[in-house]
Structure 1
Amino acid sequence: MKFFKKFINTITLIFIMSSKSFAMPDMTNAFHNVSFLNTKSETIKLNEYEDKILLVFFGYTHCPDICPSTLIDITKSLRELGDDAVEVQPVFISVDYLRDTPERLQKYMEFFDSRIIALTSSENDLKKISKNFRTTFELVNPSSSNYLVEHSSNLYIIDKGLIVKRIVANGLPSSEITKTVKKLLN
């Protein structure tokens, strides 16, 4: 199963990279134009972290599988980076604008590395930032209290110039994140 997952991820990446119209997104405008609330209910914009390498992941706190495993991979990567981790800012952006309040995000993030910041925003701003990242999300049957959110599972590694340098597919080991960050630091 693990081999099959890696095979599919590799084929998908080859297909995307071979497309003539594919270019890594420039996030400069997106980071200046979208506001978020952090776990302390403070308004921030991602350009406040433009002096860091960003690890950006979209998810939600009620996610049963992909989100916790990705946040664990980010935590492992921060440990693998050692002292270099000060140059990195991991960001978890919740796409569940109905349930994921700053308070809910605060409680959820207690299970992961404290250096990962968690953010939420309005539906409109989340749609804007998702479009810039070329990603999607959709609340499935939000009238139910136990609804799911369909979302992409990629981790975006963004350099200090706010250019996406790598999109890491779900399921790749934390060492892939670490390797990319180290390349950007050198």
Structure 2
Amino acid sequence: MKPAALIPLILALGLTACAPAPAPLPFKGSDISAENFGADFSLTTHDGKPVSLSGYKGKVVALFFGYTHCPDICPTTLLEYAGAMKQLGKDSEQVQVLFVSVDAKRDTPAVLAGYVPHFDARFIGLSGSEAELKTAAGHFKVVSQVLPTAGGGYLIDHSAGSYLLDKSGKLRVYEPYGTPLDTLAHDIRLLLD
């Protein structure tokens, strides 16, 4: 190839390299797109089917870790997501809310089946062995600690935020506990476009 023929190619490559990076999306939650954590995991759905997180690619995933005996944080967060799904209307068909248990001892698939769908029939509860749940939580920097209560019971103190993953399965947004449903719907909608 003659050197004069290379000039258009070099110019084209140079212009491509100088193209500006796309502007970050205006999330209301914390944009964690540049963070390097979150990984695939495999658990069991509340109807007894084995699934992996990567099996939900093609949908925006809202991922929340909690437990069914949680007195306040978990039901509040699930109610906020239920409200966000209503606000999204038809677009909610492209969203999957996953509630991952941090309580392997009590949160069997049957227990999750009697709890999670009450917030929205499309929500899926995930359970597994203690080791499986600990691995899944660890991938998302979720921590939990058992707190014994009078009478031999216990509560679990756990990380209270939730995560949004885009349709390709990439971790994009952290939503702290108490995020209003309008904010959740706004951030989910950005990931749907």
Structure with the larger helix share: 1
Specify whether residues 39 and 142 from structure 1 end up closer, same or farther in structure 2 by C-alpha distance, changes over 3 A only: farther
Q: How many residues align?
A: 165
Q: Identify which of 34, 37, 44 aligns with 1:37.
A: 44
Which runs of structure 1 show a deviation greater than 3 angstroms over 4 or more consecutive aligned residues? 141-145
1:90 aligns with 2:101: no
Using the size of structure 2 for normalisation, the TM-score is: 0.78
> What are the residue-to-residue correspondences of 1:1-186 with 2, within 5 Å?
23-27=34-38, 30-31=39-40, 34-141=41-148, 145-186=152-193
Specify whether residues 146 and 78 from structure 1 end up closer, same or farther in structure 2 by C-alpha distance, changes over 3 A only: same
Q: CA deviation at 1:140?
A: 2.3
Q: Separation in 1 of the partners of 2:98 and 2:67?
A: 12
Larger Rg: 2
RMSD (CA atoms) = 2.3
AA at the equivalent of 2:126: L
AA at the equivalent of 1:158: L
Q: Separation in 2 of the partners of 1:56 and 1:93?
A: 7
Tell me, which stretches of 5 or more residues in structure 2 are unaligned?
1-27
Identity among equivalent positions (%) equals 34
AA at the equivalent of 1:59: G
Worse-superposed segment, 137-146 or 101-110: 137-146
Specify whether residues 110 and 86 from structure 1 end up closer, same or farther in structure 2 by C-alpha distance, changes over 3 A only: closer
Q: CA deviation at 1:44?
A: 1.2
Specify whether residues 124 and 85 from structure 1 end up closer, same or farther in structure 2 by C-alpha distance, changes over 3 A only: same
SS in 2 for 1:181: helix
Q: 2:56 touches 2:169 (CA, 8 Å); kept in 1? A: no
AA at the equivalent of 1:37: T
Tell me, which stretches of 5 or more residues in structure 1 are unaligned?
1-9
